[in-house]
Amino acid sequence: MEKLKNFTSSSLFLPVVALAVLLVFNGIFVEGFFDIQVTEDGRLFGRVIDILTRSSSLVILSLGMTLVIATSGIDISVGAVVAISAAVVCTLIGGRGDGVAETPMLLAMLASVGIGILCGLWNGLLVAKFKIQAVVATLILMTAGRGVAQLLTEGQIITVYYKPFASIAGVIPGMPLPTNVFIALAMVAFVAIVMKKTSIGLFIQSVGINPTAAKYVGINVTMVLFLVYAFSGFCAGVTGLIESSLIRAADANNAGLNMEMDAILAVALGGTLLSGGKFYLGGSVIGAITIQTLTTTLYALGVSADQLPVVKAVAVIAICLIQSRKARDLFEKWKNRGNGAAAAGAKAVNKA
Amino acid sequence: MAAALLEMRNIDKVFPGVRALSNVDFTLHAGEIHSLMGENGAGKSTLVKVLTGVYPKDGGTIHLNGREISPKTPKEAQEEGISTVYQEVNLCPNLTVAENIFIGREPRRFGFIDWKEVNRRSVELLQKLDVDIDVNKTLDNYPVAIQQMVAIARAVDVDAKILILDEPTSSLNEGETARLFKIVRQLQKQGMGIIFISHFLEQIYELCDHITILRNGELVGSYEVAKLPRLELIARMVGKDLNDVKDMDKMAEKSVPSEEVFIETDHAASIGQIKDVSLQIHKGEVIGFAGLLGSGRTETAEMLFGLKDVTGGQLKINGKAEKLANPMAAMKDGIAFCPEDRKLAGIIGDLTVRENIILALQAMDGMFTHIPYSEQVKLADQFIEKLRIKVSDRDQLIKNLSGGNQQKVIIARWLATHPQFLILDEPTRGIDVGTKTEIQKMAVELAKTEGMSVAFISSEMDEMVRTCSKLIVMRDRRKVAELTGEQVSSDGVMQAIAGGDN
């Protein structure tokens, strides 16, 4: 009982409930939703696996976004940085028809993640050093980023025929799940360990809650901001690898399109306030998976891709309302309206 | 006696884990100035917030002019005629004075805001309060005292029956306070009921007719001011015997500084902040920075903590010339700083008491390390006990503590770093008498037993006179005098502030 109460009051409760509701809905209305099949070479197949695989990019982005938002900032450039990172890795490996890589793949990957970090540092410079508001600062790269990606690919969609490149977002023979699931898991584990073993999390929260007081206790606020934006850029760089590997091409116009919005939504669903301060990484991860589950559910129900955003918006409103304190208060009031009326009646009788 | 204007009966208020008010009665008559007294955490603010609709009450009734009311929001309370001026000015610094006065209830004409009317009435209102300023300038152009007057002008205009003043004088000087009192008396004559909350006993005895005392969320009693001597008032507030209080009032002996100098400055200056300060702070010394608001005493403290660059002259620590580039550099040299503005620069509201206590120590250890949880708990518990911080548990959010307890947490944060030099800037502002004495005693104790150097900055002169063995007097951003021994007296400070260069 005590445990149950602890859970219901924990920050993870609502995100988990939202996801559970979606899953139950799926279980009832989508045939074979929870079925998982194993192929002969040991790979797992099924809708649930599908959701996990597809949500890995969003999970990674939302990790970085959570930390940025916790400092009461925001990074709306991640979608564009995904495009830049994709362009870098594809241009370096090259689109040779004979399937030969122009640059060793590992080097190309490092370079694209490095570019991601560089983009993050640029954002950090604008926010931490020049004190530009985060939305405006990252808006610069959001609008310019896709142009940079176009420059790199010279306006072409570079298709990579080098076979191993596909394995970043595909299955390496002998593994049960696609590689990007493991990448996402590794990132989550990495962040979890860093939060546990260092005091970075505490400092990020302090900066987000009260930057002046944080400065007065000797916290290097500039450094903390640089760190979170760089990390967000790193996450976007990794996501760029996955997204380009998925289609084996760099599409500067569409890679990572609108992903920044989904990432922000994932963070919000996870219970982290956009005003900064306390953050919930677990919540963000669940939030990201929830968004992907919703998308997959809607496809499974036959909602067409054009109409998808509308239905998604309705579902998001519902989820946000469940989490809103005000809405809950209103609900409580509505629930208690009978009692209130009775009390008022009793008073009226007393007066009479 | 006439029927009461306001009657609060059997008010209960429970917060998670704390019973903030239990069964409290409060009666206010029209044309009365009534003081609400009690230590920090006694429930004064909670009672006011219940009355003004900030918190819903958990039990009891409120009658205004014989009619039961239960305001659910501050706006509802205002519509009932209950206006409040809070301790921290709750106005928007980036709006003009006139906008601040009429925000949310602007007079309209054809559906549009009638700016002419807004300005005319603002000027009129402020003139009533004897304030003559340009109402079209934004509020941040004016000193806190004027901002306070604007807040009062706003409160008074809404056709108030009851005016609540929560620590209105804590940031005012004597002249401004006198002016405020004149206005309050004027409002009293108009038949308004006024609730006045302050920690300054003199002011309460000067202004108020009635005192209601709370302790630990319970009503101690309601008294006529004339029939309640000060000592008895304090005794009732802290719940102790009269004789104990007399002992409490006697200050322990001052600390005797050693010969060794910890930190010294030689004609130090900081562009636009400090012109010329030379001082020596010895180990085991409690030194006071005296001077009027804006004299440069806070800026001097900030310079010693690396928050302001030393652009001229020299700064030496333990005899070695040092440049304190940032707070961390100062902290590494053993300097700690409790800032003047607790809310803005001190507490990190959404963190727990434990996290707030370990924060400075953790910052010194660096971002990539982590004080083990068990160690954090030990540290937090140790200081909660040592400084007698009133918390429901160590993982309570600091923003839910009373001002005095927040201050103690900030002090604990710095003591945890084992500083050699502790700067306390206005450590007792907005804090009850009992805690005030505790903090003063602690400053002296630390200097005596641990050989710590302590800088004590306060607007209350008698507090510094009681605590410090040396006083630096500042005027117009320079040091104008240094008082030691017998010279350390209110009189000495006044003369130094007033009396030219000696």
Distance CA B318, CA B215 (A): 46
In a domain, B384, yes or no: yes
Q: How far is CA A270 from CA A8, A73, B11, B36, B65, in A?
A: 15, 17, 39, 44, 49
Residue where one domain finishes, among candidates B418, B440, B458: B418
Same domain, B185 and B85: yes
**Residue type at B247 in one-letter notation:** D
Summarised one tens digit per residue, pLDDT across range B74-127 is 888 888 889 888 766 678 888 888 888 888 777 777 778 888 888 888 888 888
How many degrees, rounded to 5, is the angle at CA B328 between CA B326 and CA B331? 120
Same domain, B430 and B379: no
Residue where one domain finishes, among candidates B389, B418, B447: B418
Same domain, B169 and B57: yes
pLDDT of residue A95: 82
Provide the chain B residues 389-418 that lie in CB contact (below 8 A) with chain A: 413
Residue where one domain finishes, among candidates B189, B213, B248: B248
Same domain, B236 and B327: no
Q: How far is CA B246 from CA B249, B435, B477, in A?
A: 5, 16, 38
The label of the residue with tokens 């005794």 reads: B235
User: SS3 of B433, please?
Assistant: helix
Same domain, B317 and B426: yes
Tokens of B36: 């609400």
In a domain, B218, yes or no: yes
In a domain, B342, yes or no: no
Summarised one tens digit per residue, pLDDT across range A34-89 is 888 888 877 888 888 889 999 999 999 999 999 999 999 999 999 999 999 999 99
* Residue of chain A whose Cα is closest to the Cα of B370: A198
CB-CB under 8 Å, A199 with B326 = no
pLDDT of residue B248: 45
Distance CA B71, CA B84 (A): 14
Highest mean pLDDT among A111-115, B279-283, B400-404: A111-115
- pLDDT bucket at B66, cuts 50 / 70 / 90: confident
Q: Is the ipTM of this complex over 0.95?
A: no
Tokens of A117: 């970090």
Taking contacts as CB-CB distances below 8 angstroms, the residues of chain B near A230 are none
Map out the domains of chain A as residue ranges: 58-280
Interface membership of B327 toward A (CB under 8 Å): yes
Summarised one tens digit per residue, pLDDT across range A249-293 is 998 888 988 899 999 999 988 888 888 899 999 999 999 999 999
Interface membership of B144 toward A (CB under 8 Å): no
CB-CB under 8 Å, A210 with B367 = no
pLDDT of residue B357: 95
* Residue of chain A whose Cα is closest to the Cα of B302: A216
Query: Where are the alpha helices (H) located in B169-219, listed in sequence order?
Result: 174-189, 201-207
What average pLDDT does this structure show over B39-56?
A: 85
The number of folded domains in chain B is 3
In a domain, B340, yes or no: no
Taking contacts as CB-CB distances below 8 angstroms, the residues of chain B near A206 are 348, 351, 359
Same domain, B411 and B298: no
Q: Is the pLDDT of residue A21 over 80?
A: yes
Which among B351, B360, B363 has the least Cβ separation from residue A205? B351
Same domain, B95 and B140: yes
CB-CB under 8 Å, B363 with A218 = yes
Taking contacts as CB-CB distances below 8 angstroms, the residues of chain A near B344 are 210, 212-213
Q: Is the pLDDT of residue A339 over 70?
A: no
Taking contacts as CB-CB distances below 8 angstroms, the residues of chain A near B350 are 205, 209, 277-278
The label of the residue with tokens 């509701």 reads: A21
CB-CB under 8 Å, B331 with A218 = yes
Same domain, B103 and B214: yes
Which among A203, A212, A278 has the least Cβ separation from residue B350? A278
Interface membership of B337 toward A (CB under 8 Å): yes
CB-CB under 8 Å, B359 with A216 = no
Q: How far is CA A189 from CA A38, A54, A281, A345, in A?
A: 26, 18, 11, 58
Which position has the higher pLDDT, A100 or A221? A221
Same domain, B360 and B270: no
- pLDDT bucket at B158, cuts 50 / 70 / 90: low
Same domain, B311 and B357: no
In a domain, B341, yes or no: no
A210: CB partners within 8 A, 6+ apart: B344, B345, B347, B348, B349
In a domain, B477, yes or no: yes
pLDDT of residue A348: 44
Domain with B404 in it? 347-418
CB-CB under 8 Å, B351 with A206 = yes
CB-CB under 8 Å, B355 with A218 = no
Provide the 8-state DSSP code for B29. Answer: -
- B413, B352 Cβ separation under 8 angstroms: no
Q: Is the pLDDT of residue A126 over 90?
A: yes
Instruction: Tell me how far the alpha carbon of residue A161 is from its chain's centroid.
Output: 29
Residues β-bridged to residue B287 = B455, B470
User: SS3 of B340, please?
Assistant: coil
Same domain, B258 and B188: no
Q: Is the pLDDT of residue B243 over 80?
A: no
| Residue B256, phi-psi category: left (phi > 0), alpha (psi -120 to 50), beta (remainder) | beta
Q: How far is CA A59 from CA A56, A159, A313, B171, in A?
A: 5, 26, 20, 50
Same domain, B120 and B264: no
- pLDDT bucket at B484, cuts 50 / 70 / 90: confident
